[in-house]
């Protein structure tokens, strides 16, 4: 099949940031240092940092990288954590296995700085209440 459906997901360069910890623009957003740089073999958008020359894949080094869960599910877990739910409670609410949830929790701890920025930006935009 030659008609490959290109995943034209809207990529906002303002939300991407350099994941090279040694870069002057590490984890800074909206500094115009990030440019699109083709795709990797899985079709993921790649980016290049003009500051350090580093190339990275979309969402690399974030809690959303290489996960079984969708971004919405991860955001939901984050929100439930913020509301002081335990892992077992989150498992009940979301139906996601507690091992998967604790992986997310570990990742959140590892990427605390980025995650905090991200949550401040994103969580406010997503409605919390799924209960009707
Ligand atoms: Zn960089």
The count of structural domains within the chain is: 2
How far apart CA 128 and CA 122 sit, in angstroms, is: 12
Structural domain including 31 reads: 13-57
Same domain? 47 vs 79: no
> Is 80 exceeded by the pLDDT of residue 120?
no
Ligand 1 centre from 27 Cα, in Å? 9
Q: Which sign, positive or negative, has the C-alpha torsion 97, 120, 113, 18? A: positive
Question: Tell me: the pLDDT tens digits for 26-55?
Answer: 878 778 898 998 988 877 788 899 999 988
Same domain? 49 vs 86: no
Ligand 1 centre from 38 Cα, in Å? 17
Count the alpha carbons within 13 Å of 49 in the hemisphere toward its beta carbon: 24
Residue 130 domain-assigned?
no
Ligand 1 centre from 25 Cα, in Å? 5
Q: Which residue has the higher pLDDT, 124 or 29?
A: 29
Backbone angles phi, psi at 80, to 5 degrees: -65, -35
Look at the pTM and tell me if it is higher than 0.85: no
Predicted local distance difference test score (pLDDT) of residue 50? 93
> Is 50 exceeded by the pLDDT of residue 98?
yes
Ligand 1 centre from 10 Cα, in Å? 22
Ligand 1 centre from 29 Cα, in Å? 11
Residue 7 domain-assigned?
no
Ligand 1 centre from 100 Cα, in Å? 31
Ligand 1 centre from 70 Cα, in Å? 27
Residue 28 domain-assigned?
yes
Same domain? 81 vs 119: yes
Q: Cite the DSSP H helix spans in the chain.
A: 71-82, 87-94, 98-110, 112-122
Residue 21 domain-assigned?
yes
Question: Tell me: the pLDDT tens digits for 39-96?
Answer: 888 777 888 999 999 888 766 555 565 457 777 888 888 889 888 899 999 999 999 9
Residue 23 domain-assigned?
yes
> Is 90 exceeded by the pLDDT of residue 112?
no
Predicted local distance difference test score (pLDDT) of residue 62? 59
Q: Which residue has the higher pLDDT, 95 or 5?
A: 95
Asked whether the beta carbons of 104 and 77 are under 8 A apart, the reply is yes
Is residue 40 helix, strand or coil?
coil
Location of structure tokens 């073999």: 41
Predicted local distance difference test score (pLDDT) of residue 9? 52
Same domain? 40 vs 79: no
Q: Which sign, positive or negative, has the C-alpha torsion 63, 64, 66, 69? A: positive
Ligand 1 centre from 18 Cα, in Å? 5
Within 10 A of 20 (CB to CB), how many other CB atoms are there?
Answer: 18
Residue 25 domain-assigned?
yes
Same domain? 50 vs 80: no
């Amino acid at each position: 099949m030659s008609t490959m459906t290109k995943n034209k997901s809207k990529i906002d360069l303002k939300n991407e940031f350099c994941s090279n910890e040694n870069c002057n623009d590490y984890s800074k957003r909206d500094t115009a240092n990030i440019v699109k740089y083709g795709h990797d073999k899985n079709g993921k958008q790649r980016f290049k940092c003009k500051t350090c020359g580093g190339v990275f894949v979309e969402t690399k080094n974030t809690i959303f990288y290489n996960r079984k869960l969708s971004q919405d599910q991860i955001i939901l877990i984050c929100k439930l954590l913020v509301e002081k739910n335990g892992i077992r409670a989150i498992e009940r609410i979301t139906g996601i296995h507690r091992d998967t949830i604790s992986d997310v929790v570990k990742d959140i701890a590892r990427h605390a700085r980025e995650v905090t920025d991200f949550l401040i930006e994103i969580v406010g935009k997503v409605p919390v209440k799924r209960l009707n």
